[in-house]
Structure 1
Amino acid sequence: MFKLLTTGFWEALARLILRNKIFILIAISIATVFLSMQWKNMRFTYTEANLLPDDHKVNLTYKAFLDIFGEEGNLIVLGVKDSSVFEVEKLNAWNALAEGFKAYDEIETVISIKDLQKLVKNTDKNQFDLEPFIKDSITSSQEIIKLQNDLFKKYPFYDNFLFNAETKTLRTALYLKKDIVNTSVRKDFIIEDLQAEIESFESAHNINVRVSGMPYIRTLNSQNIVDEIGVFIGAALLVTSLIFFLFFRSFRATFISLIVVCIGVMWTFGILGLLNYEITVLTALIPPLIIVIGIPNCIFLINKYQHEVKSHGNKVKSLQRVITKIGNATLMTNVTTASGFATFILTESKLLKEFGIVASLSILAIFILCLLIIPIIYTFLPFPKDRHLEHLNKRWIGGFVDWMERMVKHKKITIYTTAIILIMASMIGINQIKISGSLIEDMPKNKQFFKDIRFFEEEFNGIMPLEIMVDTKRKKGVMKLATLKRINEVEELIIETPELSKPISVVSLVKYSKQAYYNGNPKYYQLPTSQENSFILSYAKNSNSDVDLLKNFVDSTGQYARITTFMKDIGTDKMERIQEDIQNKINKVFPKERYNVSMTGKALVFQKGTKYLVRNLIISLSLAIFLISLFMAYLFRSFRMIIVSLIPNLLPLLVTAGLMGYLGVPIKPSTILVFSIAFGISVDDTIHFLAKYRQELQANHWKIRKSVYAALRETGVSMFYTSIVLFFGFSVFTISSFGGTVALGALVSITLLFAMLSNLLLLPSMLLSLERNIANKEVLRKPTIDIIPSEDEDLDNQE
């Protein structure tokens, strides 16, 4: 297929484009309209990113749990920490706020202080009755004192569920209907109804209400992603167009480039809609990414056109040469960039796979748009004026090129020493990199919902659910005293773990039943003895009071039980140690021949997914290196040149990884992307330099030193300009409120800056040092693809 990419092919393509310009513009317009119509299929994700394959063991365990107990992430919590809430009027208003939510169709259950009820022993009927702590409303401060005494001291069953006895913090629990948790209905309720009710309560009673819970966090986090897409696109357009204008000093050229990249962004959204993919925190990065990658394409093409016009004054000939000379080079660089993204397609992660597909298709699309639109538009425009060509005479960049040449000529030892020191320092830093499996680490720290997460962590030990499911392997096995005792032993370990909240399970209900049997005496809040068990449970069976509570802890057959606790946002290492401790306890307490016990929950699934992605990082990066190596082998027909070309591009990746270790930036889903993206982009400079170097060798009769310096001078300017565009373009992501996006932007920018210096200093130095073994006529045979034709052309313009 590469045989098509010859000079003859590009000349034929140039004639085809310029002779059918109206038809091509109509075709682009139709394609743009068609893809714009697909926008209606775009949707924003309503679930956490599942980083694991569907058939992964961890996902299967989680699905098995959901099949038995239903969606576990349907809890929204409201909290207040204000002493004035224990005034009669405000406490009644707090309870009324909770009561009002019961009228909403989206709400399944509301549990507030007013909904709490005592289990009371009814000796006449041999059953437990329910009596509310608050019958109608609070009428006096004495009732509040009695309520506090009951809840904070006498009934441990409710402690740390709706209140913190030590800090007097109150909480209300809203359980969404499970069938709407992962739909847009959840978003509409939270954004439109929930927040309006809370704001009204806060303004009326001057009390700050904290809100959290996984549905709430997910909704506001997704909304933040939506809000930032527009900001990213606007910032990327502003920064790249400003740099473009400073380079060309032409409003016309700048406007043309903006038109092209804006159409590219429209196509990207259309591809998302056409493939029916969700917009996630990763795919939201692609539209501004296309702007950042598209502008350098425009620079190459417009710069070449202006140089050609200045050289011979023939506009048609200039546009033909833009396509024939720059089309091939730009195609190769875009293909290598797309390859870096495309490696994610081969991972097992749906999140990364969708990101890779959309990004690689969008990069190829922006190349096609640049190649078609820019030459065609210039056919309709008048001949460039002298002021449009003034920037071609500027030599302010000459000082930088002179410095590079001096370094390569006289400071090769310094360059090698610096590279070795960087490698050694980076290896030390790499050993300090940690893996983060936190669900909330990347969330915007300055947003109120993130501050509320920290509030609930401090007051109630977290909001991220961790579930333990006990399979007794027989119906009604849960209520056996032996099973309850085993569950209780695991709960005791959870209670001793400061990073976990007080667990909730059927054991708590059974303990509460015993306390009720002994007339509410708190010292009897414990599991019944074998003698007590039968008649206490007989009271429970005769009563309807435990049905609603029991169904949340035990399945309908009585075979499965759940232990629910909530986690703080802790590091992956600490989370793994806690999981290991609990698992060891489970293995010790529950005989495997009689019980199947599994741990699951969203926090655990996400943590396991992050670990899984790290392995995918190694695979995708190795694959990117392999694919690009194959490409360069076919391009240069030299194994030795592959080695020489890879070293300057791997060094920046090592430096970046080392910086991550030193700066404490962990490996997580967002930062995992850095390496494959940066490698795919940075290798473009290597291809440009080596292609020009080979051309200079042929022109200079294989005089190696002369060819290296000539290639350095010719490519140095364009590599500098494109690196500046890419550096500031990716720096746009640092304005994000998401920590992971900030890290991604900063790390890719730094990597590309190092890659430019590496390709302009280390690569030519290696060519000079290894000239006898590598840079000779036998090694650099006729290429398969002529990226840069050997006729007399100014490469500075071609690139």
Structure 2
Amino acid sequence: MLKWLSTSFWDFIASKILRNKIGLLILVALFTLFMASQWKYIKFTNTEANLLPASEKANIEYNSFLEKFGEEGNLIVVGIQDSLIFSPKIYASWEKLMLQLKQNKEVEVIISLNDLKRLQKNDSLSTFELTALLDPAKTKDAAYLKERKKELLTQMPFYEGLLYNKSGIIRSAIYLDKKIVNTPERKNLVLHKIIPAIEAFEKETKVDLHVSGMPYIRSLNSEYIISEISLFIGAALGITSLIFFFFFRSFRTTLISMCIVIVGVMWSFGFLGLLRYEITVLTALVPTLMIVIGIPNCIFLTNKYHQECRIHGNQAKALVRVITKVGTPTLITNLTTSFGFATFIVTNNELLKEFGVVTSINIIALFFLCLFVIPVAYSYMSIPKERHLDHLERSYAVSFLNWIQKTIKSKRTIVYTVAILLLATGIFGIFKMRISGSLIEDMPKKAAFFDDIVFFEKEFDGVMPIEIMIDTKKKKGVMKLTTLKRMDELQETIDSIPELSKPISIVNLVKYSKQAYYNNNPEYYELPTSQEQAFILSFAKNSVKNSKDNIMKSYVDETGQYTRITTFIKDEGINNLDIIESKLQSKIDELFPKERYEVSITGKAVVFQKGTKYLLDNLLQSLLLSVFITALLIAFMFRSIKMIVVALVPNLLPLLMTAGIMGYFNIPLKPSTILVFGIAFGLSVDDTIRFLAEYRQALTRNNWKIKKSVFATINESGLSMFYTSVVLFSGFSVFMLSSFGGTIALGGLVSITLLFGMLSNLVLLPSLVLTLNKTLANQQEFVEPTINILSDEEVGEVDKIEFNEFDEEDIEEENSNEK
């Protein structure tokens, strides 16, 4: 049946394509319109990518935390130097800004200087009352503001780390409604309300504010991703069209290829909408990938068409041979690439699953688009002129192919020596690689909001939250003094870890309660003694219960059974999170007996770090799966185990070289860079399969003469492999225009890997075939592969297809000449 696939099948396909040209073009147009109709379902993701599957323990603990305390990433902070804000004019503008932001229904509460509260003891009600730190009627008095500044910085340690730090930075904490954090309303609030208000403040006062927080970062990050989609598509179209024209020197040929990949881009957006996938940092790359991957198909089909026109000058015969001779190798290479991307589906990660599904589907769809449209388009054009065929014998191309042939003919020892040295160099570099879970490493470093991230990293010790959730297993167990003391001791441990910020919990409020009970003397900012607990804790409980604007209410659940300790980790500490977590867990085990407490360490920082490691493990597995599938495909095609070695060695060497480069240049292993290996392997192995398919065909033409067949294969496919590698190299280079470190690394590393892959497939692969020719030429093993590639004799039969009336005369003339 598979032999029928390689002869009668492509015979049938060629006849159908060239006899039904108008119908095919209409079908493509209708399908394109259908895909365009699906664009209305395209949405940008409003949620953060969770890299862990739902069944993972870290994910279960994090979801349990969210059930108890709601979304944690709802805080936006705005910072200003204290010497500026405590001046009457700027304070007035600041107060105006905060009041304006508070009017938005999406804002839950704002803790800011203008409405900062101090605790005051009310003996008659046995509670603490919140009184304003600043009297609005006196804020025009500079001396008054100076006095209140001193009180804040010296007598209110409760707010240290939350609203001010010791270096003199004042900030406001803007807590958003948790229900809108993962919805489009969050982005609308940030972009169209908060940012314009802050810009108006800066314009009015000539003072720069620093703004950060996860809702703010995520909103601006998504805007950069959206803007880069058009940048990548435009750059990829521009550079690939220029290279295509440089190779073929034909405006019409270039225009046809560009139209095909543009339609492919339209289909890629359509599939995103059809599958109801959101645009994420990965799926945003798919349209550009379709351009980069689609152009090689156009090059191989066009190059084969030009080669056939140069040989016999018969357009009808050339068009038929484009389909029948290139159909199977091109289908196999596209399937290989598609399988390479499809391996991401097995990673058990939704982000990668969607990327793998939509990319693999688009690659196959793009293959059929090229196969249907290119022969039909060329059939309506006149046969290429001599100047359009000159690229086949252009001096640089001839020199390049001659160099390859001389190298593999007489310098194979040097080839193997260089390959072994590169292998050793790559392996040595691998041991220098490091794994990174950094949040800000991949963010656009030229963006203004990146500077603000760095600012708050420095001033307030981190932006990624770590949450410690404590279950006391008893209702109202949180406010027991024994529990509070255990929490306080744990917070002291957190304070001692340089990578972590000052912790915040209900303990802070209880300490502030004791200070307030003793007339706000900062020396009493500590937990009450056992003798003081009865009256001070009762005051504190009433304070929490009666205060609607007290942010501490979100640190104890309604039952009083669960509480949380929040700290933030510096980005530089993310990579040491395992050590930090181990230190905290050791202290937790010491302080909180398991029979009385259940304590979990969670939060975005923990989930992100564990998700990164989980993803790296899964991506390595998907790469191994891709190699295994390729090996099976080679064995299936050629029924030769030895061919698997010949095929895989030239493709694994570039991957090892790239891994070594990452080690030498301190490029960390992370989700964005681990993608390099799967993508590059899937694209590089295409050249290997195409070379071996052409080599198999050359063997049958040349009566199993190994050397002659190898050199004939280089002459037949070498130029196309060179052209496509240049296009792929340049196409992936456009990702280096990105503002995101991960995308830059992806583009640069894939380009380097493909460059190594081209040289490996053009030099090392044929060298291995020549060296192992005695075993690989064993006709008992190799003469009848599972998938047969059309020989020239078989194609001669296919050439007689009558696919259109205006070509019949050409075919009759051809048959007459053959007779």
DSSP-derived class of the 1:171 partner: strand
Output the CA distance in 2 between the equivalents of 1:417 and 1:246: 35
Indicate conservation of the 8 Å contact 1:469/1:562, yes or no. Answer: yes
Q: CA deviation at 1:403?
A: 1.6
Q: CA deviation at 1:572?
A: 4.3
Q: Judging changes above 3 Å, is the alpha-carbon distance between structure 1 residues 381 and 711 closer, same or farther for their aligned structure 2 residues?
A: closer
Q: CA deviation at 1:710?
A: 2.8
Indicate conservation of the 8 Å contact 1:436/1:571, yes or no. Answer: no
2:343 is the alignment partner of 1:371 = no
Report the counterpart of residue 757 of structure 1 in structure 2.
759
Matches within 5 A, 1:137-286: 137=137, 138-164=139-165, 166-286=166-286
Report the counterpart of residue 71 of structure 1 in structure 2.
71
DSSP-derived class of the 2:414 partner: helix
Report the counterpart of residue 750 of structure 2 in structure 1.
748
Q: Which digits, 9 at most, give the CA deviation of each residue in 1:5-64, with x for residues without a partner?
A: 212111111111122222211211111111111111111111222111122211111110
Matches within 5 A, 1:727-746: 727-746=729-748
Q: Which digits, 9 at most, give the CA deviation of each residue in 1:364-388, with x for residues without a partner?
A: 1111110111111222223333433
Indicate conservation of the 8 Å contact 2:324/2:790, yes or no. Answer: no
Q: Which digits, 9 at most, give the CA deviation of each residue in 1:390-430, with x for residues without a partner?
A: 33342321211222222212222221121111122211211
Output the CA distance in 1 between the equivalents of 2:573 and 2:431: 17
2:500 is the alignment partner of 1:500 = yes
Q: Judging changes above 3 Å, is the alpha-carbon distance between structure 1 residues 581 and 431 closer, same or farther for their aligned structure 2 residues?
A: same
Q: Judging changes above 3 Å, is the alpha-carbon distance between structure 1 residues 130 and 533 closer, same or farther for their aligned structure 2 residues?
A: same
Q: CA deviation at 1:549?
A: 3.8
Report the counterpart of residue 815 of structure 2 in structure 1.
none
The Cα RMSD (Å) is: 1.7
2:677 is the alignment partner of 1:661 = no
Deviates more, 1:690-699 or 1:100-109: 690-699
Indicate conservation of the 8 Å contact 2:329/2:693, yes or no. Answer: no
Q: Judging changes above 3 Å, is the alpha-carbon distance between structure 1 residues 542 and 255 closer, same or farther for their aligned structure 2 residues?
A: closer
Indicate conservation of the 8 Å contact 1:106/1:176, yes or no. Answer: yes
Output the CA distance in 2 between the equivalents of 1:418 and 1:394: 29
Indicate conservation of the 8 Å contact 1:734/1:745, yes or no. Answer: yes
Report the counterpart of residue 674 of structure 1 in structure 2.
676
Q: Judging changes above 3 Å, is the alpha-carbon distance between structure 1 residues 268 and 542 closer, same or farther for their aligned structure 2 residues?
A: closer
Report the counterpart of residue 91 of structure 1 in structure 2.
91
Q: Judging changes above 3 Å, is the alpha-carbon distance between structure 1 residues 143 and 3 closer, same or farther for their aligned structure 2 residues?
A: farther
Q: CA deviation at 1:4?
A: 4.9
Matches within 5 A, 1:604-643: 604-643=606-645
Deviates more, 1:704-713 or 1:400-409: 704-713
Deviates more, 1:647-656 or 1:374-383: 374-383
Indicate conservation of the 8 Å contact 2:187/2:219, yes or no. Answer: yes
Indicate conservation of the 8 Å contact 1:637/1:781, yes or no. Answer: no
Report the counterpart of residue 693 of structure 1 in structure 2.
695
2:580 maps to a residue whose letter is I
1:706 maps to a residue whose letter is K
DSSP-derived class of the 2:173 partner: strand
2:482 is the alignment partner of 1:482 = yes
Output the CA distance in 2 between the equivalents of 1:300 and 1:711: 14
Output the CA distance in 1 between the equivalents of 2:260 and 2:306: 18
Q: Which digits, 9 at most, give the CA deviation of each residue in 1:514-561, with x for residues without a partner?
A: 011111111110011111001112223444555634421100000000
Report the counterpart of residue 784 of structure 1 in structure 2.
786
Q: Judging changes above 3 Å, is the alpha-carbon distance between structure 1 residues 207 and 692 closer, same or farther for their aligned structure 2 residues?
A: same
Calculate the TM-score normalised by the size of structure 1.
0.97
Q: Which digits, 9 at most, give the CA deviation of each residue in 1:277-312, with x for residues without a partner?
A: 111111111111110111111111122223333433
Report the counterpart of residue 350 of structure 1 in structure 2.
350
Indicate conservation of the 8 Å contact 2:422/2:657, yes or no. Answer: yes
Q: CA deviation at 1:772?
A: 2.4
Deviates more, 1:195-204 or 1:689-698: 689-698
Report the counterpart of residue 797 of structure 1 in structure 2.
none
Indicate conservation of the 8 Å contact 2:701/2:791, yes or no. Answer: no
Output the CA distance in 1 between the equivalents of 2:397 and 2:733: 22
The gaps in structure 1 that reach 5 residues or longer are: 795-799
Q: Which digits, 9 at most, give the CA deviation of each residue in 1:50-86, with x for residues without a partner?
A: 1111222111111100000001000011111263322
Q: Which digits, 9 at most, give the CA deviation of each residue in 1:716-769, with x for residues without a partner?
A: 222111111111111111111111111111111111111111112212222222
DSSP-derived class of the 1:528 partner: coil
Deviates more, 1:50-59 or 1:271-280: 50-59
Matches within 5 A, 1:25-36: 25-36=25-36
Output the CA distance in 2 between the equivalents of 1:3 and 1:530: 88
Q: CA deviation at 1:107?
A: 0.7
Q: Judging changes above 3 Å, is the alpha-carbon distance between structure 1 residues 99 and 675 closer, same or farther for their aligned structure 2 residues?
A: same
Q: Which digits, 9 at most, give the CA deviation of each residue in 1:72-119, with x for residues without a partner?
A: 000011111263322111112112211111111111111101221111
Output the CA distance in 2 between the equivalents of 1:197 and 1:413: 69
Deviates more, 1:705-714 or 1:761-770: 705-714
DSSP-derived class of the 2:99 partner: helix
2:434 is the alignment partner of 1:434 = yes
1:690 maps to a residue whose letter is L
Q: CA deviation at 1:696?
A: 2.6
1:692 maps to a residue whose letter is E
Indicate conservation of the 8 Å contact 2:43/2:278, yes or no. Answer: yes
The gaps in structure 2 that reach 5 residues or longer are: 797-819
DSSP-derived class of the 1:424 partner: helix
Q: Which digits, 9 at most, give the CA deviation of each residue in 1:407-462, with x for residues without a partner?
A: 21222222112111112221121111111112221111000011100001111111
Indicate conservation of the 8 Å contact 2:438/2:575, yes or no. Answer: no
DSSP-derived class of the 2:773 partner: coil
DSSP-derived class of the 2:357 partner: helix
Output the CA distance in 1 between the equivalents of 2:18 and 2:784: 30
Output the CA distance in 1 between the equivalents of 2:724 and 2:715: 15
Deviates more, 1:170-179 or 1:223-232: 170-179
Q: Judging changes above 3 Å, is the alpha-carbon distance between structure 1 residues 522 and 324 closer, same or farther for their aligned structure 2 residues?
A: same
Output the CA distance in 1 between the equivalents of 2:349 and 2:300: 35
Q: Judging changes above 3 Å, is the alpha-carbon distance between structure 1 residues 571 and 263 closer, same or farther for their aligned structure 2 residues?
A: farther
1:289 maps to a residue whose letter is L
Report the counterpart of residue 807 of structure 2 in structure 1.
none
DSSP-derived class of the 1:435 partner: coil
Output the CA distance in 2 between the equivalents of 1:464 and 1:717: 51
Matches within 5 A, 1:358-757: 358-543=358-543, 545-546=546-547, 548-570=550-572, 572-757=574-759
DSSP-derived class of the 2:207 partner: coil
Output the CA distance in 1 between the equivalents of 2:2 and 2:412: 36
DSSP-derived class of the 2:783 partner: coil
Q: CA deviation at 1:317?
A: 2.7
Q: Judging changes above 3 Å, is the alpha-carbon distance between structure 1 residues 676 and 140 closer, same or farther for their aligned structure 2 residues?
A: same
DSSP-derived class of the 1:13 partner: helix
Indicate conservation of the 8 Å contact 1:435/1:610, yes or no. Answer: no
Output the CA distance in 1 between the equivalents of 2:152 and 2:574: 36
Q: CA deviation at 1:792?
A: 9.3
Deviates more, 1:632-641 or 1:421-430: 421-430
Output the CA distance in 1 between the equivalents of 2:633 and 2:3: 14
Q: CA deviation at 1:790?
A: 4.3
Q: Judging changes above 3 Å, is the alpha-carbon distance between structure 1 residues 607 and 365 closer, same or farther for their aligned structure 2 residues?
A: same
Indicate conservation of the 8 Å contact 1:435/1:572, yes or no. Answer: no
Output the CA distance in 2 between the equivalents of 1:765 and 1:318: 31
Q: Judging changes above 3 Å, is the alpha-carbon distance between structure 1 residues 394 and 549 closer, same or farther for their aligned structure 2 residues?
A: closer
